[in-house]
Amino acid sequence: MANILIVFASDYGSTRKMAEALAEGVQSAGGTALVKEAEAATLDDLVAADGIALGSPVHMGGMDWRVKKFIDSHCSAAWMKNLLVGKAGAVFASGSGFGNGGGGVELTMLGMLTNLAELGLVILPLSKHLGGYAKAGLQWGPYGRAHNEDLSPKGLDDSQLEAARAHGANLARLAETLKNNKVFA
Ligand SMILES: Cc1cc2nc3c(=O)[nH]c(=O)nc-3n(C[C@H](O)[C@H](O)[C@H](O)COP(=O)(O)O)c2cc1C
């Protein structure tokens, strides 16, 4: 059984909902999920996990400072000692954008993925065949858009969370597989 750590920041609840949907997906695949706010997650949480998901709201075109603080404070310590090499990694994000563009969601996700790659994690993409992809899919991970193009709020509905559940389930399966097979020499 894979232990999955899901670390997120959220001001208005959308990224939290996505984190919880990922956790449901993890559990549906037989894994256990520890969902933690970025400011509460620790190095010990990272070391105990077989797979790690980072989730952030898009803030000014990039990741939330609390997620970056977690990366700089705790992931860097793991990087120094190669503690997470060969585990599974995934990202997710929530945003709004003004107009019909992404408003920085790809940079947010790629920023987090860069850090996961530095740690030696095997990164999980979100494949377009998965349920929910049409509503909340991006190849880098699930994206929950919580506002309309004019920034009027709409929140996340269940169909948007489907991609997060699928990603969580796949992360649990990937983490379990990697746990039983050493990938890096
Ligand atoms: C300070 C701030 C900056 C934001 N900047 C962006 C942005 O650059 N691009 C974007 O798509 N959304 C932006 N948003 C909108 C949030 O990403 C969006 O509302 C998201 O759903 C919030 O997630 P949360 O409910 O988990 O806090 C911003 C929100 C705040 C509060």
Length of the chain: 185
The pTM assigned to this predicted structure is 0.98
Residue 62 CA, closest ligand 1 atom number? 8
Q: Does any domain span residue 54?
A: yes
Cα 35 to middle of ligand 1, angstroms: 21
Per the prediction, the chain carries an average pLDDT of 96
Domain CATH for 134: 3.40.50.360
Q: Does any domain span residue 185?
A: no
Question: What's the pLDDT tens digit per position in 13-25?
Answer: 999 999 999 999 9
The structural domain count of the chain equals: 1
Q: Does any domain span residue 75?
A: yes
Tell me which residue of 80, 11, 75, 14 sits closest to 49, measured CA to CA: 75
Q: Does any domain span residue 76?
A: yes
Residue 12 CA, closest ligand 1 atom number? 25
Atom 29 of ligand 1, nearest CA residue? 59
Would you say 18 and 159 are in contact if contact means Cβ atoms under 8 Å apart? no
Cα 184 to middle of ligand 1, angstroms: 37
The pLDDT > 70 percentage for the chain reads 100
Question: What's the pLDDT tens digit per position in 83-129?
Answer: 999 999 999 999 998 998 889 999 999 999 999 999 999 999 999 99
Cα 97 to middle of ligand 1, angstroms: 8
Provide the residue type at 116 as one letter: L
Burial label for 139, CB within 10 Å (0-12, 13-18, 19+), is: exposed
Give the integer Cα–Cα distance in Å for 167 and 185. 27
63: left (phi over 0), alpha (psi -120 to 50) or beta: beta
Q: Does any domain span residue 138?
A: yes
The reported pLDDT for the residue numbered 60 is 96
pLDDT value at 182 more than 90: no
Would you say 161 and 132 are in contact if contact means Cβ atoms under 8 Å apart? yes
Please give the residue range of the domain that contains residue 173: 3-179
Q: Does any domain span residue 69?
A: yes
Q: Does any domain span residue 184?
A: no
The reported pLDDT for the residue numbered 97 is 87
Q: Does any domain span residue 88?
A: yes
